[in-house]
A and B are shown apart, each in its own frame.
Chain A
Amino acid sequence: MKRIFKNIALYIGILSTLVASSCKPEIEGFQPTSGEADFSKYIAVGNSLTAGFADGGLYLEGQQMAFPNLIAEQLREVGGRDFRSPFFAENERNGSGYLQLKELVNGQPVMEDVTDNLAYREPGKLSKHMGDIENLGVPGMRLDLSTQDWFGALNMYFERLLPDTDVGTKTYMQFATEKNHTFFSFWLGNNDVLGYAMNGAVTNEGDPTTVLTETATFEQVYRGFILALTANERKGVVATIPDVTAIPFFTTVTREALIAAVKAASGQDVQDIYIETGSDTRRAATDEDLFVLPFASAGLLGSTSTENPLPYGLHPDHPVESKYVLDDGEVTTIQARIKAFNNIIEDIAEEEDLALADAHAYLNRIQNPGIVYNGVAVNASFITGNAFSLDGVHLTPMGNALIANLFIEAINKQYSSRIPKVDASKYRGVKFP
């Protein structure tokens, strides 16, 4: 009898210990480590994507959600220190200005410009940001122009980061390679095709941002830039260039949608949209031809003018101008160039033992078939796809978080590090009014 009581006391003792220690279950298992890399001073080299450009502008919220900033937050767990960005001040938080969704009319988006709290010190010039920074992303930066000192005077986002004495005299490559970093991310080259593609594969005379960079130039500059960044065996991650057909800028306004719009507006049964191709021929558009997003809001389709009384785009003798359309031939040319660039990026990454984030493959997967991330459908649909912001090119905060995870996976794979992933479901897609 006594023994039983003693045993029962023991059982109760065991059980209460179990209860006390297990009220809240703990899950062990992920120990962050830096592996073979040194993340103490991480710099991010790149263009608008690195800077956090979104919704057609650079503004504070976008800067804060830029993928390198999200990566840097995770790097704190593996020895990363301060990661400073050229944030706009709170009273200038809307930076360059950007697009927002004003309303949906019959399910169609109406946009407006945000014009308050901008950061212009004079027209075309943004408030300077002096002081040390690690996010070196410059919207509009191209690989081929990263070695041109005059570009600092032409690009207002770069000009903003340079002391007056360096404007027009310092190249982006010089600017980015003097920061004493221990680790870098490098994502340049998109604008070397995108500037040309977004202009409908038309190079504007005197505008170096609409040039399609030659493959040889690309390889030479890319290698030079990477060699400078990897000097003294420093490590980093590079990323491939996304396909033009993976972004809503080119995939939203389809031939089918234009025909449907004409029918809805005029009640007429239209069969064809006529375009002017890059080779100056005029023909009916096919589904392989891509219209640029701004064409939708340009209000040209079906319009007439005194010079040409025929309805715009609906008659062979008044075709959609080449700058609004990437015809199938141009798409092929651009895709071939992207492939050549990506081969170079992959080769150099391998030569230099760098991590490779394959943004080309990843964004193609988002475009087709799309992914489901923690219950959220993510795809390349304009506005509702959650990945792309209102300009159809740049990423939403959620898109940035997904890209941050792509980079983190690549780094972990290459350097045996264990950087924790970003919870991308914390970040939003497009804001609705």
Chain B
Amino acid sequence: MRIKELLLGLLLASPTVLWAQGSQVNTQGQKAVGMAGAGSALFVDETSIFYSPGALVKMDHNALSVGASAVMYRSAFRELNSTDVHHTKFKISPPFSVFATFGPKNAWWKAGLGVYTPFGGSVDWGDRWPGRYELNHLQMRAIYIQPTLSFKLTENFGIGGGFVYNVGLVDLSRSIPTASADGTPGRAELSGVGTGMGFNVGVHYNLEDDFAISLSYRSQVTTKLKDGDAKFTVPPALATSFPNTTFDAELPLPSSFNIGLTFPAGERMDIAADATFIGYSIYKELVFDYKDNTPVLEDTKQEKKYENAFSAKVGINYETSDRLDLRIGGGYVYSPVRGPYVSPETPDNNRIMGSIGFTYDINDRWDLTGAYVFQRILERTVTSVNTGLSGAYKTNIHAPGLSLTYKW
């Protein structure tokens, strides 16, 4: 007996993994987090390495800060015409940031080093939800290491730039529709580490203490994942069709262009606003290249067709006393993901953000900054062009964070 190309029906579909909008929760500086991401023009401190390299040189001291957030994604999915709502498991992903500055005080230059995680997230839908054959869990993190130099061109005009080295970590799993003797499905686990490079440049201009503007550009960084591990758990009869192997993939991280403004709105109050254009249209497709191909394990290509995204944030900073600043902010983000390309790894849509924060000067040397941002990714009913999964997603993201700064 012979049945032609029997196993072709089991062809493995492409995994969905991207540094997507959903995974971007900017938590680099807790002062900015307290203003929903606004403040690139307002805050002239060590976090300017990330937010506004041109402002770095305007610091009148040096500082080292260490911060971390506890980002909690809570996504829910309800399949079309079903009553069952599925929730992601409770996971905390801890993006961190370290910023340090070096250089003489009030000089024409300043140097800095930033280590931070601009993208990262963790979703775990488990292996019992309707989209199990698309995704079980995904954990990803991009760590940027950015040495930066900043120069004063005039007293009010600073320019700066940095080199970005990125280390990206990915770890995901999904079910495979191959039932074993006890009826349970198979499983694919993919994990890997990749690296990439890019840069960050910016200018900052201020009119005395009144008004300031910051322009900055962060380049695209393509993370090249080489020799990631692909591990398959399938019934023994299929083991040769799904060999444990390695894979290569390229994950582009988008560029962004940011404009920030700030102006005083009273003796102790400042308002800051930021607008960011994010170049997500580089996500045309995602290719996975497996080292060992079999008739069922072929290289995969999945269309993404992202569009560029835009976000607007505004915040208020209020100096209650010489020691305590309080903040509040809000923002709106337009999603780069079109409905049919929404995937459970980051069930994206437009989102609203609200935040509060504070900075307390413990003494001349030490500052403590805290912030809490809440993001609601608006409910969206989609039918995936890749899997046919049809239903409504909704996501809440909570991100409380703290940072400690030492100044000298």
Contact = CB atoms under 8 A, between A and B. Distances in A.
B130 interface: yes
A336 interface: no
A296 B1 contact: yes
B236 A25 contact: no
27 contacts: A1-B320, A5-B320, A18-B354, A25-B75, A27-B76, A29-B78, A30-B78, A30-B81, A104-B6, A104-B237, A108-B6, A109-B6, A253-B1, A260-B2, A374-B130, A375-B13, A375-B386, A375-B387, A376-B177, A381-B6, A382-B6, A383-B6, A384-B10, A397-B183, A423-B130, A431-B180, A432-B180
Interface of B: 1-4, 6-11, 13, 74-85, 87, 128, 130-134, 177-181, 183, 185, 234-238, 318, 320, 326, 328, 354, 356, 372, 374, 376, 379, 386-389, 392-396, 398
A297 B3 CA distance: 11
Given A25-B76, A384-B9, A423 B84 contact: yes
A25 B134 contact: no
Contacts of B179: 428-432
Contact of B237 (A22, A260, A432): A432
Contacts of A373: 388
Contacts of A383: 3, 6, 9
B30 to A, nearest CB: 16
Nearest to B379: A27
A374 B134 CA distance: 7
A431 B181 contact: yes
Contacts of B3: 108-109, 252-253, 257, 296, 382-383
Which 3 pairs between the two chains have the least Cβ-Cβ distance?
Answer: A384-B9, A375-B133, A432-B235
Interface string A205-228: 000000000000000000000000
A426 interface: yes
Contacts of B318: 4
Interface residues of A, number: 64
A24 B131 CA distance: 19
Nearest to A61: B183
Given A423-B82, A429-B179, A431-B180, 10 more contacts: A11-B356, A23-B74, A27-B394, A30-B83, A257-B2, A258-B2, A383-B3, A383-B9, A421-B81, A432-B181
Nearest to B376: A22
Contacts of A432: 178-181, 234-235, 237-238
A8 B326 contact: yes
B15 to A, nearest CB: 11
Interface in A407-433: 412, 418, 420-421, 423, 425-426, 428-433
Contacts of A22: 374, 376, 396
Interface centre among B6, B234, B356 (most CB of A within 10 A): B6
Nearest to B372: A15
A257 B3 CA distance: 6
Contact of B396 (A25, A252, A386): A25
Interface in A1-34: 1, 4-5, 8, 11-12, 15, 18-19, 22-27, 29-30, 32
A366 to B, nearest CB: 12
Contacts of B1: 108-109, 253, 261, 296-297
B6 A374 contact: no
Interface in A107-142: 107-109
